């Protein structure tokens, strides 16, 4: 069973009005479908999402607070894929590096979602737990508590910015006609693929930032 766009429609058999004996929707299914939709098309609308799920648009409102609620579900989908376990297993500096690598890796798997998740507060218990662990590790390492949020913010900002790089168009810098920029052109030509540039920029930045934290911790003890 497919709709006009050849997309499989779940449960498209005619359903009459009234409450179904067993619920056809739940937040998990809506979240998964929304993530799929954004991965494929770069955006979503409630009607399109409902069509994929084989329900009416209004039905979504029984499970989610409108469009903003779906974005919250996208955030949950992404957060749930982050892996906080490395934080338990390594030295604090390696652990923090590993967490932010997984953070970026999840976004790399879903680049088109990134721009939708840049502005809201972090509430996900999973992610909060990861930050809790990092805060504890920084304290143990000798970093003064007044500096903890500065450091975590700098790392978070860098990770988010790097994730956005993944969502950016192929060419991040385009030299317009008539503009002379020989050094920039040469530098652009000297890079491998853009994906490679993004990856290595992230690695070098992350390592650099953590080196500095490590140095500060060492001098504090």
Contact residues: its own copies, CB under 8 A: 115, 118-123, 125, 128-129, 131-132, 135-136, 138-139, 145-146, 148-154, 156-162, 164-165, 167-169, 171-176, 179-184, 186-188, 190-191, 197-198, 200-202, 204-205, 208-209, 211-212
Distance between CA atoms of residues 22 and 15, nearest Å: 12
Smallest separation, CB 48 to DNA (Å): 6
Compare residues 24 and 152 and give the one whose CB is closer to DNA. 24
Check residue 27 for interaction with DNA (CB under 7 A): no
Smallest separation, CB 165 to its own copies (Å): 5
**DSSP 8-state symbol, 175:** P
Among 16, 145, 169, 190, binds DNA (CB under 7 A): 16
Region binding DNA by CB under 7 A among candidate stretches 20-28, 120-128, 141-149, 202-210? 20-28
Check residue 5 for interaction with DNA (CB under 7 A): no
Q: With beta carbons less than 8 A apart as the criterion, state whether 86 and 98 touch.
A: yes
Contacts of 86 by beta carbon, 8 Å cutoff, 6+ apart:
94, 95, 98, 99, 102
Smallest separation, CB 209 to its own copies (Å): 6
Alpha-carbon distances, residue 215 vs 142, 143, 192, 204, 208 (angstroms): 11, 10, 32, 16, 11
Smallest separation, CB 49 to DNA (Å): 8
Contacts of 72 by beta carbon, 8 Å cutoff, 6+ apart:
64, 65, 120
Check residue 8 for interaction with DNA (CB under 7 A): no
Q: Is 209 helix (H, G, I), strand (E, B) or coil?
A: helix
**DSSP 8-state symbol, 176:** P
Smallest separation, CB 76 to DNA (Å): 17
105 binds, among its own copies, DNA, none (CB under 5 to 8 A by kind): none
Q: With beta carbons less than 8 A apart as the criterion, state whether 17 and 56 touch.
A: no
Distance between CA atoms of residues 149 and 206, nearest Å: 16
Helix or strand (DSSP H, E) at 199: helix 194-220
Compare residues 69 and 115 and give the one whose CB is closer to its own copies. 115
Q: Kindly identify the residues of this chain, within the stretch 39-68, that bind DNA according to CB under 7 A.
A: 44-48, 54-59, 61-63, 66-68
Binding site for DNA (CB under 7 A): 15-20, 23-25, 44-48, 54-59, 61-63, 66-68
């Amino acid at each position: 069973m497919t709709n006009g766009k050849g997309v499989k429609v779940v449960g498209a058999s005619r359903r009459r009005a009234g409450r179904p004996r067993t619920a056809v929707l739940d937040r998990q299914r809506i979240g998964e479908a929304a993530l799929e939709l954004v991965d494929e098309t770069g955006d979503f609308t409630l009607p399109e999402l409902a069509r994929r799920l084989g329900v009416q648009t209004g039905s979504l409102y029984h499970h989610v607070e409108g469009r903003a609620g779906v974005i919250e579900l996208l955030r949950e989908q992404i957060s749930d894929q982050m892996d906080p376990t490395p934080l338990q297993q390594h030295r604090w500096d390696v652990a923090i590096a590993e967490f932010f690598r997984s953070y970026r890796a999840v976004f790399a798997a879903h680049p088109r979602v990134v721009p939708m998740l840049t502005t809201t507060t972090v509430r996900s218990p999973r992610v909060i737990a990861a930050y809790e662990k990092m805060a504890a590790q920084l304290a143990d390492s000798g970093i003064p508590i007044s500096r903890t949020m500065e450091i975590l913010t700098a790392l978070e900002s860098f990770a988010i910015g790097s994730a956005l790089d993944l969502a950016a168009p192929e060419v991040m810098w385009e030299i317009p006609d008539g503009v002379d920029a020989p050094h920039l052109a040469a530098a652009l030509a000297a890079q491998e693929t853009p994906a490679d540039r993004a990856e290595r920029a992230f690695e070098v930045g992350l390592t650099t930032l953590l080196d500095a934290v490590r140095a500060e911790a060492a001098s504090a003890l």
